[in-house]
Structure 1
Amino acid sequence: MLGHFLRWTGGGTKIVYRCPSFGGAARTLEVPLDGGEPQSRLEPRDVFGQYDAGDVWTIALSSRKESRLFENAFHPSFSPDGSRIAVDASWAGPRRIWTVDARGRNPEQVSTDVSEAVAHLRPRWSPDSRRIVFQSVEGTRFGVRVVNVASKATVRVVDEPYASLDPVWSPNGRFIYFSSYRGSGINLWRVPVGAEGAAAGPAQQLTTGAGQDVQPSLARDGRKLAFATLKQNADLWKLPLSPDTGRPAGPGEEVVATTREDSRGNWSPDARRIAFNSDRSGDMNVWIASSDGAAPRQITRGAGGDFQPTWSQDGSRLAFFSSRSGHLNVWTAELESGRLTQLTRNRSIDINPFYSPDGRSIAYVSDQGGRLEVWAMNADGSGARPLTSTGVLGHFLRWTGGGTKIVYRCPSFGGAARTLEVPLDGGEPQPLAEVAGGAHMSFSPDFSKVLDVVGHKTIWISPLAGGSPEPVFEFDDPDVRIDYPVWSPDGRWVLFDRFRPQGGDVWLMENLD
């Protein structure tokens, strides 16, 4: 508990208090007087959602009679012979795969793991009812595994640095289908599997293009595949700001807009150009354009997904992260020659690179040690080393102190999420003044203020010395999100993503082998 006061709500049936860490951040909660789990109490401008519990029910198709089978479980899946139901549940600790009989009785834990930090989700049976494919979540890693129901032996099918989701078996048991971000977008893939479910060959991409292809479902003959495509559009906008106050000096305006995704923009050091990632060519690659969006030029090409470009101080190259090598690593691109250089070569996740002001170092985020931490290396990729052991939240690192310190968001420091800075040459992280948000921080040119977005909705300005954070901009459309705001080097603009979901369609793929 934090703070000095408790308060009663609900006519005296609940007590409100401040929790130091709930879902990775300090939250205001209320707990029932007669017992029960604390629930988050929404505060002004909060955007919050949580699954508290889930029950599994059945419905008789003839009578439409509904019956609850059991509590606190998700994603039920009947075995093909109808004798058992697989679910993911936390009945004996971390979320694992369980089976029960068709009446919801005789529970048996099927999957296990050496780490309690791993969750097992979304079970689906093999056609012979002997194995179950499921999704594993290990911190920032998403993989696909298969467990033998009788022996409880587990094999890894897909274990990648990018998300592999919604696995299902083909009716003949020869393939496992899934959604993955291993290409330029979230597309459908399949991998051939052997008798015990282990991969028997390389994965094959089935769909391409923009949007998110998810929730695959195969016909009984295995020749047709239905799936949903979630459409989305992200454009780059800029908003004029007062350099003195950071408040808007006019309306926002569109800078880069296509029917595809154009996002994660970044200003060149002279503020005359912007770099961004875009899938307008079919693959997610790095592009540049003038600051008004004119004269777009493609810098990288090919599959793998290139994201979040950041400029070197002399404007001659861009650093970005990409899975074009098969793993998420840090790369650079020379603007004049187009030459690409891979700086990190790890099986870990290496993301979110940022050049130091003098261009001699690159800070980035890596989970080489088991969780995401701040790392730094020389600009040529040598001398890579961890700087923190506190964990990292958010999408951005920032340099301060003339390039001697790195600012990041820590998930728990003193019991709450905090903004910290760590010296490049080693030392303990120290807290900065608290800022609103923390996931997409961007400093004013004089380092007196921090700009960020809260709830993917509202841009806030937080002074670092005196004063309180204040909201300065949001769109009237409730469906529009704001992400990745970046202050221009001259202090007169903020560049950001304007993201708007566009619904989804159901598609059918036929004549599968």
Structure 2
Amino acid sequence: MTRNAEPSYQFGPFQLDLSEHVLLRDGQRVPLTPKVFDVLRLLVQNSGHLVTKEMLLTEVWPGSFVEEANINRSISVLRKALGESALGQTYIETVPKLGYRFLAPVAEVPLAGLESRAPTPDRVAVDLGADHGDSRFVSSRAVAGTVVALVAVGFGCYAVLGLREREKHAAILTPVHKQVTFTGIEAAPTLSPDGRRVAYVSYGSPERTVMVQELAGGRPLPIFSAPEVGRLRWSPDGSDLMFWSRGGGKNGIYVMPQLGGTPRRVAGGLFTACWSPDGSTIAVAQYLAAKISFLDLRTREPRTVALTGVHRWIWDMDWSPITNQLVFASDDNEGHYSIWTMRPDGSSQNRILVGDTEISSARWAPGAAGIYYSRRANETVSLNKLIRQPGDGAWKAVEAPLVSGLETDGAFAVSADGGSLVYSRSSFHSNLWTVEVGGSATSPRLETRELTHGTSLIERPRVSPDGNWVAFNIGRESLANVYIMPITGGAPKQLTFLKSFSVGPVWSPDGKSIAFVSTESGTRRVWLVAANGGSARALSSDHVSDTSEVVWSSASRILYQQVENRNFQGLDLQSQQERPLVRDGSVGWIASPVPSPDGKRIAVAWNRRPTRGIWIIDGEQGRETPLYEAPTPPLVIGWSADGTSIYALDGGRPIYRGLFARFGETLTEAKILKVSVSDGKAQSIALPFNEVGGVSMTPDGRTFVCAVYSSRSDVWVVSDFDTLPGHQSARR
């Protein structure tokens, strides 16, 4: 048999044989997986030179999407295989932020010299149909004897090494990502229990549509449409889909056959829910009520369990068929995120993880041997795992994430066998645009102009009192700062240089100061900085809501939204005394207060029952009067200069964008309302953008500054995402 003429390389006691795809140390095989071998080959062939991470991804994982963590893991395995720590020899140098360099002297071994070496038990050449005159070929009897001996040795080694070797090899598998949709408008996916189908939401106009698609191929099947739909969950037997819907008379949680049919409304209002293991019951979280309701789908009999601890919002839930326990991810009023477990009767409620970064999903691993959860890290999300400790059974987080660097909203789903994970890869950014309104009330004319450019996330614009400047924030969650720029355009000027989340700038009435909310001190507080720059200083207590809403109500008083979003506190800058904006904050959530030009009244968005919408609060007389009714209150953005009209932002189909956006959401089909203070009648102007975040206006009401989003989202499936020892996947 003629060998492929590939070179072999010698360095120290090692020989890298490319033809046989083997690494030898003093003639003995060093086990490496194919990908780790390819990483070593690339480093050795470029010995003494930098091998960038991009080169490694392109050469070793062509055509696949993998994270840098896979490179780091492969390098770590290589260093252990080469015995760097034991021998004191350094073979691989890390070049920070760039890549790696192979340091050891490398010599290419001639092919002839390699062939003359006697075969060892690790390397036997066999060819039953070749010329017996060649010393590389042996008789069939000798071959059979050799094979039997090798098989016996192999089984002996397996019995000795067993699980250790299998776990070592499993630990260096790498997640493989496969794109499922390609239109840029799909999100919120879930996997069928058998991992063969995916359901997701298509964000096309005019409504959002639930789609079901075979992963092996075929056209997606639309089964349900509504203005808003999401939170898809497959039933345990794969026959039905459960989802949440709102708008168009389709409000609540619905169940319907996976291939289409009549949707059945099973619960109203809230949307975080999961199935029981046998599919007979659904658990539904109640927002701000610290309760989970259990609805028997056969009898329609509900029961409710009260939760211990403080739970503001339950982001995700899952029900284990092994332990009959629920796991859920929640947050509290102080901005802490937690993972809890409990039994369906409400007993054994245990908080097993707590932190300050967003945890938006939690799902049981196969066999209940672990819990997968997502955690936001600056601009991206990582998939992590909790595992039980032997002995006391305590839960412990695995130090390194399973998958990192995901551009996603943090939601995911796992097939029942643990072999596949699905998520939506979503990338987005925003820029500021101005919209100048001309023409007449019946035939408005809009002129648009882009103020900022690029792929940063720019949000929460506020126009200065003289209409000449715009304040805003640039950054992402956990790190953002305040900037200003002329409303006519130009280079942004950075005002704050804090290493924290600093957002929501608002101008003082004289335009000389800017208030904002920052986490610089470890908790959210109101801060102040001069409009022309300088050092920022903290003002308020630490009871600011994570909406980071703040506004000047007068030259000496700042309003900031309290935790739970049911009231605003008025902070007097001279006396440092605080008092609430409304008398009774329990009647509904209140948002976006804007004082009238004379400072005597404040317009707010209030979901106060029975009249949700825009209200006017009279500061002198203490009256609270509804003005404009709407199921979802529009956000107030300003008053007309003469105080006869109120401007507000309305729209449909909100998209969650995290705490960087105002109230965490943006709007599609956004429009500006002009509401008459005398009779509550409104005129509207549609904004010419697909997705809009914060909006501000000049004092004359002719120019609006909008945070305009650009985004794409598609469904991806990941295999081999959990490479930890002990992971139970039926596909392995």
TM-score class normalised by the smaller sequence: 0.5 to 0.7
Kept in 2, the 8 Å contact 1:120–1:134? The answer is: yes
Offset of residue 491 of structure 1: 3.9
Alignment partner of 1:165 out of 353, 360, 364: 360
Give the 3 Å change call, closer, same or farther, for CA 291–158 of structure 1 in structure 2: farther
| C-alpha distance in 2 between matches for 1:422 and 1:502 | 44
Offset of residue 201 of structure 1: 7.2
Give the 3 Å change call, closer, same or farther, for CA 353–53 of structure 1 in structure 2: closer
The answer for the alignment partner of 1:54 in structure 2 is 254
| C-alpha distance in 1 between matches for 2:260 and 2:712 | 36
Give the 3 Å change call, closer, same or farther, for CA 225–414 of structure 1 in structure 2: closer
Aligned partner letter, 2:671: T
Offset of residue 396 of structure 1: 1.5
Does 1:495 pair with 2:705?
yes
Give the 3 Å change call, closer, same or farther, for CA 162–450 of structure 1 in structure 2: farther
Offset of residue 398 of structure 1: 0.7
Offset of residue 372 of structure 1: 1.6
Give the 3 Å change call, closer, same or farther, for CA 322–447 of structure 1 in structure 2: same
Alignment partner of 2:323 out of 129, 132, 135: 129
TM-score (norm 2): 0.50
Alignment map for 1:334-353 (pairs within 5 Å): 334=530, 336-341=533-538, 343-346=540-543, 349=546, 351-353=548-550
Q: Secondary structure at the match of 1:375?
A: strand
Kept in 2, the 8 Å contact 1:166–1:214? The answer is: yes
Kept in 1, the 8 Å contact 2:254–2:265? The answer is: no
Does 1:263 pair with 2:463?
no
Give the 3 Å change call, closer, same or farther, for CA 247–257 of structure 1 in structure 2: farther
Does 1:372 pair with 2:566?
yes
Kept in 2, the 8 Å contact 1:459–1:473? The answer is: yes
| C-alpha distance in 2 between matches for 1:243 and 1:498 | 23
Give the 3 Å change call, closer, same or farther, for CA 159–371 of structure 1 in structure 2: farther
Kept in 1, the 8 Å contact 2:408–2:424? The answer is: no
Does 1:448 pair with 2:658?
no
Aligned partner letter, 1:442: G
The answer for the alignment partner of 2:675 in structure 1 is 462
Kept in 2, the 8 Å contact 1:179–1:214? The answer is: yes
Alignment partner of 1:235 out of 414, 423, 431: 431
Give the 3 Å change call, closer, same or farther, for CA 347–312 of structure 1 in structure 2: closer
The answer for the alignment partner of 1:13 in structure 2 is none
Kept in 1, the 8 Å contact 2:514–2:530? The answer is: yes
- Higher deviation after alignment, 433-442 or 201-210: 201-210
Offset of residue 259 of structure 1: 2.4
The answer for the alignment partner of 1:15 in structure 2 is none
Alignment map for 1:84-163 (pairs within 5 Å): 87-89=282-284, 96=292, 98=294, 111-113=305-307, 122-125=316-319, 129=323, 131-136=325-330, 144-148=339-343, 152-157=347-352
The answer for the alignment partner of 2:578 in structure 1 is 384
Does 1:214 pair with 2:411?
yes
Q: Residues 346-391 of structure 1: CA distance to partner in whole angstroms, max 9, x if unpaired?
A: 3865731012341x11112113xx5521221123793222222245
TM-score (norm 1): 0.68
Does 1:420 pair with 2:620?
no
| C-alpha distance in 2 between matches for 1:453 and 1:417 | 12
Offset of residue 123 of structure 1: 2.7
Give the 3 Å change call, closer, same or farther, for CA 115–145 of structure 1 in structure 2: closer
Aligned partner letter, 2:255: D
Give the 3 Å change call, closer, same or farther, for CA 71–494 of structure 1 in structure 2: closer
Q: Residues 214-233 of structure 1: CA distance to partner in whole angstroms, max 9, x if unpaired?
A: 326499789x9653222334
Alignment map for 1:16-95 (pairs within 5 Å): 50-55=250-255, 75-77=273-275, 87-89=282-284
Offset of residue 322 of structure 1: 3.9
Offset of residue 311 of structure 1: 1.7
CA RMSD of aligned residues (A): 5.1
| C-alpha distance in 2 between matches for 1:77 and 1:260 | 39
Identical pairs, percent: 16
Give the 3 Å change call, closer, same or farther, for CA 244–114 of structure 1 in structure 2: farther
Aligned partner letter, 1:354: V
* Larger gyration radius, structure 1 or structure 2: 2
Kept in 2, the 8 Å contact 1:327–1:348? The answer is: no
Alignment map for 1:270-285 (pairs within 5 Å): 270-279=466-475, 283-285=479-481
Alignment partner of 1:431 out of 598, 607, 625: 625
| C-alpha distance in 2 between matches for 1:503 and 1:109 | 38
| C-alpha distance in 1 between matches for 2:616 and 2:462 | 22
List runs of 5+ in structure 2 lacking aligned partners: 1-225, 228-245, 652-666, 725-732
| C-alpha distance in 1 between matches for 2:250 and 2:473 | 31
Offset of residue 286 of structure 1: 2.7
Kept in 2, the 8 Å contact 1:146–1:197? The answer is: no
List runs of 5+ in structure 1 lacking aligned partners: 1-39
Q: Secondary structure at the match of 1:256?
A: coil
Alignment partner of 1:472 out of 685, 688, 697: 685
Q: Residues 316-343 of structure 1: CA distance to partner in whole angstroms, max 9, x if unpaired?
A: 4432234455544433344522435263
Kept in 2, the 8 Å contact 1:143–1:165? The answer is: no
Offset of residue 310 of structure 1: 1.1
Q: Residues 493-512 of structure 1: CA distance to partner in whole angstroms, max 9, x if unpaired?
A: 11123235422353759576
The answer for the alignment partner of 1:504 in structure 2 is 714
Offset of residue 408 of structure 1: 1.4
Offset of residue 132 of structure 1: 1.9
Give the 3 Å change call, closer, same or farther, for CA 488–65 of structure 1 in structure 2: closer
The answer for the alignment partner of 2:509 in structure 1 is 313
Kept in 2, the 8 Å contact 1:274–1:291? The answer is: yes
Indicate the structure with greater helix content: 2
Q: Residues 404-427 of structure 1: CA distance to partner in whole angstroms, max 9, x if unpaired?
A: 44331221255443412142x7x6
Give the 3 Å change call, closer, same or farther, for CA 294–444 of structure 1 in structure 2: same
| C-alpha distance in 2 between matches for 1:471 and 1:84 | 46
Give the 3 Å change call, closer, same or farther, for CA 86–490 of structure 1 in structure 2: same
